[in-house]
Amino acid sequence: MVPKIGFTCSYTPVPLIEAAGFSPYRIFPDTDSADQAGHLLHDNLCPHVKKVLDRCLDNDLDDISGMIFINSCDTMRRLSDAWHDTRPSDRITLIELPSSTSNSSIDYLAEEYERMARNLFEWNGQAFSLDCIHENIELWNQLAVLVSEIEARMSKAFYPGLAASFQKVINAAAAQSIETALNMAKEILSVEQTPQKGKAKVMVFGNLLFDPKVFDLLEDWNIHVAVNDFCTGSRFITGIDTGLNDNFFKALASSYLHNTPCARTMDTSTPGNIAANIVEKAKSADVKGVIGFTLKFCDPYLARVPMIREALANESIPFLMLEGDCTMGAMGQQQTRIEAFSEILGV
């Protein structure tokens, strides 16, 4: 069996994990484990981190050969701290993630990604190989192209079940292998589907929404998910622009910093551009409304929701903001509001 490397953030370059001979294992915050994380850290932290930590505390994890953490926000760095405390013998690398996209940030992140790659090769007792990295980046980029094609299909018309299938592809890339995801994507695209009518075309955005069943539920509630803008969704499959650079790590750093528009990263030349980006995506997909789904206690989003609301209102795009945890159970509580929203949007 291929040994696994655990990770928790979309800024983790999966091709580096696979190049070192590991399989990626994104630890989703999906667990029935008892709530103990609040005790080890604090209760006022996002459910993403708390549930992942609950899994760790409860030993509810497959065998992992090491962990990659990304210092993407305060809560994530606390997760890395707590992991050290809970599983002190685990091999752990914490990658520093700059918040800005300046040239020096790209250079530094490139060094950090290289450190990550070298650690991974060493953990697996393999000789560091740029060729292996290149091959895996190529494979990843093929996946990115197919994922974009599925996204284009989703945004063009409503195909029942497509949003959930799309999510399954993303999850396979996160927790199985790039190749599995690639095959799944090819299969989806090879099937001719007949578009249907009668659903409200919507963009959904936020931090985490990873359970494919959630997307089926949304369809049951009359929603056509045309854009899935989550860090467990389209943002996870960041294409790597190797043409820009002969240094793979720089290419990775530049692509991840520029093309993974998570609320925690900022373009200082246009402060607050997350709001403009969401409006732009909503407009280009020609959706009738936008649903934001963010996790409680997530600072990067808490601070941005008012400006996103304002930007959508300026464009007269209806907006529904939901907050909660990232589980199917939590979705059930939102049914009435989502159905009411789809009714307002009409079809």
Partner 1 sequence: MMYEYFDNLEKGIKGRIDKEPQKIHARKKYVLEIARLGKRLYNQDENIAWCGVMAPFDLLNAMGVTSCFVEFVGAMLASTNTADHFLKQAEDEGYATDSCAYHRAVTGAVLENAMPEPNFIIGTSSPCTAGLAVMENFARAYKKDFFILNIPQNDFKEAISYLAGQIQEMTSFVAQHTGHPLSIEKIGKAIELTNKASLLLQNIYDLAKQKPSPVDNQFLKDFGTVMSLLLGTRQAVDICQAFKDELEHRINNPTPNMTNEKKRLLWIQNRIQYQFPINKMLDDLGAKIVVDELNDVTWEPLDPDNPFESIAKKTSSIPFCVDSTRRIDHIKQQIIDYKIDGVVHPCHWGCRQGTGIRGLVSKELRQMDIPVLNLEIDCVDSRNLAKGQIETRLEAFMEMMG
Closest CA to 99 of 70, 131, 63, 65: 70
Residue 85 touches which of ligand SF4, partner 1, none (Cβ within 5-8 Å per kind) = partner 1
Q: Which is nearer to partner 1, 79 or 331 (CB)?
A: 79
Q: Are 289 and 225 in contact (CB under 8 A)?
A: no
Q: Which is nearer to partner 1, 68 or 225 (CB)?
A: 68
DSSP string, 52-113: HHHHHHTT-S---SEEEEEE-SHHHHHHHHHHHHHSTTS-EEEEE--SB--HHHHHHHHHHH
Residue 78 touches which of ligand SF4, partner 1, none (Cβ within 5-8 Å per kind) = partner 1
- Cα–Cα–Cα angle for 165, 224, 286, nearest 5°? 115
Q: How far is the CB of 196 from partner 1 (least distance, A)?
A: 36
Around 152, how many Cα atoms within 13 Å sit in the side-chain half-sphere?
Answer: 8
Give the Cα separation of 183 and 185 in Å (integer). 5
Q: Which is nearer to ligand SF4, 46 or 252 (CB)?
A: 46
Residue 295 touches which of ligand SF4, partner 1, none (Cβ within 5-8 Å per kind) = ligand SF4
User: Which residues inside 24-43 make contact with partner 1, applying CB under 8 A?
Assistant: 38-42
Q: Is 216 in the site for partner 1 (CB under 8 A)?
A: no
Q: Is 299 in the site for partner 1 (CB under 8 A)?
A: yes
Instruction: Please report, in angstroms and rounded to a whole number, the separation of the first and last CA atoms in the chain.
Output: 49
Report residue 98 as tokens: 């700059």
Residue 177 touches which of ligand SF4, partner 1, none (Cβ within 5-8 Å per kind) = none
Report residue 209 as tokens: 């929404």
- Residues forming contacts to ligand SF4 in the complex (CB under 6 A) are 46, 48-49, 72-73, 75-76, 207, 264, 295, 298-300
Number of amino acids touching partner 1 (CB under 8 A)? 47
Q: Is 280 in the site for partner 1 (CB under 8 A)?
A: no
Q: How far is the CB of 298 from ligand SF4 (least distance, A)?
A: 3
The number of residues making up the chain comes to: 347
Q: Are 31 and 57 in contact (CB under 8 A)?
A: no
Q: Which is nearer to partner 1, 35 or 138 (CB)?
A: 35
Residue 99 touches which of partner 1, ligand SF4, none (Cβ within 5-8 Å per kind) = partner 1
Site string for partner 1, 68-107 (x = CB under 8 A): ---x-xxx-xx-xxx-xx--------x-x-xxx-x-xx-x
Q: Are 287 and 258 in contact (CB under 8 A)?
A: no
The CA-atom distances, in angstroms, between 146 and each of 59, 84, 139 are: 35, 37, 11
- Within 10 angstroms of residue 87's Cβ, the number of other Cβ atoms is 16
Q: How far is the CB of 263 from ligand SF4 (least distance, A)?
A: 7
- Applying CB under 8 A, the residues found at the interface with partner 1 are 38-42, 44-45, 71, 73-75, 77-78, 80-82, 84-85, 94, 96, 98-100, 102, 104-105, 107-108, 111-112, 263-264, 266, 268, 271-272, 296-297, 299-300, 302-307, 309
